[in-house]
Amino acid sequence: MTIATINGIPLNHDVKGSGDLVVLIMGTGSPGRVWDLHQTPALVAAGYRVCTFDNRGIAPTAECADGISMTDMVADTAALVEYLGGGPARIVGTSMGARVAQELTLSRPDLVHKAVFLAGHARMDHFQQTLSAGERELADSGVVLPAKYRAAVTAVMNLSPASLVDAHTARDWLDLFEFSGGSTSAGVRAQLDMDRSFDRRDAYRAITRPCLSIGFADDRMIPAYLSEEVADAIPGAEYLEIPDAGHYGYLERPNEVNKALVDFLAS
């Protein structure tokens, strides 16, 4: 990957393939390389130039421990698109990254050809706001959860029950979560401090670019009805709900997600 000064910060990014530009935006606490497991190869094979990057808060991009705002992240992504030759680009985001993609599509339509939001949301309900507050309190408490318990909670919150039915598949997921580390970096802690009290449903009625909102039927972190609300708010937007998929639906059901991405971005 390459680190360049973009929007005034060192921003770690990687570009694969050739053709029209697709920028993939990851969610809270995760590096951009997660996309390389499934989505990047599929999009490169479809003839796109694909950029993944680490959001501010995720080293070696600037951690910005003194504070991160959605405005910051949207500006980072806009500057990255311009750095890579300008738009309009195809934009895909998941969870927090979907919010970035939504706000970029609203504020900089000149940089967006089409946009896809995985687990997108125009607001958070009381559960999500309470969960976020609890995550911040846990990070600040200094309590370290036992690795196996942390793995089990991560699986329950982010995977569909369908992914845990098979004993071998469940073990693979739990092993991955157990050994993925449990500490919260200063940059991720800053991401957790971002505002969760927003409601952008009315604002998104001004989005003019073609959009696809994808909800995951078993998503506990961002319930599918919140993703459907995004499609309802944006004029002409499409909605697709993928069954047997939780918050990590792009990892659980990559074939279905990749087909949706490729078909929509090419249409």
CATH topology for the 2-125+198-266 domain? Rossmann fold (3.40.50)
Q: Which helix (H) or strand (E) holds 245?
A: none
pLDDT in tens, 152-175: 999 999 999 999 999 999 999 999
Q: What pLDDT does 258 receive?
A: 98
The tally of CA atoms less than 13 A away on the side-chain side of residue 40 is 18
Distance CA 92, CA 69 (A): 19
Max CA separation in the chain (angstroms): 49
Q: Is 132 a catalytic residue?
A: no
Q: What is the pLDDT of residue 181?
A: 72
pLDDT at res. 122: 98
pLDDT of residue 157: 96
Q: What is the pLDDT of residues 80-112, one digit of tens each?
A: 999 999 889 999 999 999 999 999 999 999 999
pLDDT at residue 266, rounded to an integer: 95
pLDDT computed for residue 183 by the predictor: 82
- The pTM of this model reads 0.96
pLDDT of residue 1: 80
Q: Is the per-residue pLDDT at 58 higher than 90?
A: yes
| pLDDT of the residue at 180 | 85
| Domain locations along the chain | 2-125+198-266, 127-178
Say which of 213, 218, 219, 227 is annotated catalytic: 219
From residue 86, how far is each of 55, 113, 195 by CA, in Å? 19, 11, 29
Is 175 designated active site?
Answer: no
Determine the average pLDDT of the residues in 20-28: 97
Catalytic one of 30, 95, 160, 213: 95
User: If pLDDT is split at 50, 70 and 90, which confidence band does 115 have?
Assistant: very high
The predicted pLDDT at position 15 comes to: 98
In which band, very low, low, confident or very high, does the pLDDT at 9 lie, cut at 50, 70 and 90? very high
Please give the average per-residue pLDDT across 253-259, as a whole number: 98
Tell me if the bond preceding 10 is cis, omega within 30° of 0: no
**Which tens digit of pLDDT belongs to each residue from 175-233?**
999 998 778 999 999 999 999 899 999 999 999 999 999 999 999 999 999 999 999 99
- Helix H, strand E, coil C: the string for the chain is CEEEEECCEEEEEEEECCCCEEEEECCCCCCHHHHHHCHHHHHHHCCCEEEEECCCCCCCCCCCCCCCCHHHHHHHHHHHHHHCCCCCEEEEEECHHHHHHHHHHHHCHHHEEEEEEECCCCECCHHHHHHHHHHHHHHHHCCCCCHHHHHHHHHHHHCCHHHCCCHHHHHHHHHHHHCCCCCCCHHHHHHHCCCCCCECCCHHHHCCCCEEEEEECCCCCCCHHHHHHHHHHCCCCEEEEECCCCCCHHHHCHHHHHHHHHHHHHC
- Does the annotation mark 247 as catalytic? yes
